[in-house]
Amino acid sequence: MNSLRRALVLFLPATLAFPCSSDYLIWIPRSPSADPLYRFIKDDKAGYIDQSGKIVIPPTLPHWGNYSGEFHDGLMEIAVSDGVYVDTTGKKVIDKGLYRGWDFSEGLAVAMRRDENKWGYIDKTGEFVIGPKFDTVPNGYVWPFADGFAKIEVAGKVGYIDHTGKFAISPQFLDGESFANGMARVIVEGPCAYFKTEFTCPDFGVVPKGTKQDAKLPACKYTFIDRSGRIITNQRYEDTRNFAERLAPVRVGTFWGYIDERGAMSILPRFDKAAPFADGLAMVSENGLYGFIDYTGSYAIHPQWKYAEGFSEGLAVVGDRESYWYIDHEGHQAIPGKFWRASPFFKGLAHVAIAEENAFAYIDYIGRRVFVYAYPIHAR
């Protein structure tokens, strides 16, 4: 199963939520490390174009929602198969009878052999370079590599391995997330109850594992560790998001602010919601409307939209949930027209749905259509 199916971000209005399910409004690669290949659909099969709009894989592949189907390190796991991968020509290159295989990340992919119950990591030839030695549920679990480390759960504690498969940070935290930009969110103190809304389905439970669920348990609080495993601050927060551009959103009480890499409060908590910085601006909300702040916490673009996504490559998607368009760093509309659906830009292209034409298109920064394809506009 693709790792994106396990880790789809659900924070802010960038996704649509259903009972224990979710999907992006429209497909585009969401991982910064993904390859610049772009999916299109014909006769319910997926094909791919390159950045110029040239078809490099004809529509012959199965597809799954708007949150999978990315190429990583030149390979993609076939949507309805486990551990079967194709290259950027669509040719099947790994099919070694794996029971499970995930997306590649940093040259490795989580995998499990048939008739075994241990996770390891394969390279691009499909061979295990970190042998199957990590437990699966209920005794443990594994995650993809991110920022040089992979999160590993061992007997209810979270630690992090490096590319040799050895623990760089020993399992010692009650919970934790993958590293991003040199930092990882962790839970240090417990027992406590957590409720996470930034994943595919709301995740709730208690730590340490095995703790009896009780309404009297306090809510978990979060902090950050650096790449040495050092806790960067004695402060604990009701919620957090990843570091980006040297700042991280944190919730204190009911309001969000931002801390720096030393753990010092850089932007005081005053926002109803807050997202990581991107392109020098961070999306925040007040009174149900979204705007963007700069590094000082001042508004660069005042809240005015019911929907927004973070900036990417100089432009951001905003809208009223009926139509969507692109703005620049001054908040001005940057591309003519409005769309039924619109994605962030990814390596030069964005994906839009044009309701009046019953078509989808990939556009460049000025709105020029690089590739257009007909597909039922309400289909996913």
- Work out the average pLDDT over 16-45: 83
Taking 70 as the threshold, does the pLDDT of residue 87 lie above it? Answer: yes
| 233 Rama sector, left if φ>0, alpha if ψ -120 to 50, beta otherwise | beta
- Confidence (pLDDT) at 179: 98
- Work out the average pLDDT over 172-178: 97
Taking 50 as the threshold, does the pLDDT of residue 2 lie above it? Answer: no
In this prediction, residue 195 has a pLDDT band, given cuts at 50, 70 and 90, of: confident
In this prediction, residue 4 has a pLDDT band, given cuts at 50, 70 and 90, of: very low
Q: In this predicted structure, which of 7-16, 120-129, 158-167, 234-243 has the lowest mean pLDDT?
A: 7-16
Taking 50 as the threshold, does the pLDDT of residue 14 lie above it? Answer: no
| C-alpha span between 310 and 242 (Å, rounded) | 14
Task: Provide the 10 A C-beta neighbour count for residue 111.
Answer: 25
In this prediction, residue 64 has a pLDDT band, given cuts at 50, 70 and 90, of: confident
3-state secondary structure of 66: coil
Taking 90 as the threshold, does the pLDDT of residue 7 lie above it? Answer: no
Q: Exposure string (b/e) for 148-164, b if CB count within 10 Å is 16 or more?
A: ebbbbbbebbbbbbebe
In this structure, the strands spanning 157-161 and 203-207 are unpaired
CB of 319 closer than 8 Å to CB of 312: no
In this structure, the strands spanning 167-173 and 157-161 are antiparallel
Q: Which of 346, 297, 344 is CA-nearest to residue 325?
A: 344
- Work out the average pLDDT over 256-267: 98
The 3 state secondary structure assigned to 91-127 is CEEEECCEEEEEEEECCEEEEEECCCCEEEEECCCCC
- Confidence (pLDDT) at 375: 86
Taking 50 as the threshold, does the pLDDT of residue 19 lie above it? Answer: no
| 174 Rama sector, left if φ>0, alpha if ψ -120 to 50, beta otherwise | alpha
- Work out the average pLDDT over 350-368: 96
| C-alpha span between 94 and 114 (Å, rounded) | 15
Q: Which residues pair with 205 in a beta bridge?
A: 194
Q: How far is CA 354 from CA 83, 242, 340, 378, in A?
A: 35, 33, 6, 11
In this prediction, residue 378 has a pLDDT band, given cuts at 50, 70 and 90, of: low
22: its two tokens: 């979710």
Domain boundaries, given as residue ranges, for the chain: 1-134, 147-236
- Per-residue pLDDT tens over the stretch 114-147: 889 999 999 999 999 999 999 999 999 999 999 9
Q: How far is CA 48 from CA 27, 28, 37, 182, in A?
A: 12, 11, 6, 33
| C-alpha span between 5 and 103 (Å, rounded) | 10
Global pTM reads: 0.90
| C-alpha span between 183 and 149 (Å, rounded) | 11
- Confidence (pLDDT) at 379: 56
In this prediction, residue 268 has a pLDDT band, given cuts at 50, 70 and 90, of: very high
- Whether omega for the bond prior to residue 202 falls within 30 degrees of 0, making it cis, is no
What secondary structure letter does DSSP report for 331?
S
CB of 72 closer than 8 Å to CB of 104: yes
The gap between the terminal CA atoms of the chain, to the nearest Å, is 19
Q: Which of 157, 210, 218 is CA-nearest to residue 190?
A: 218
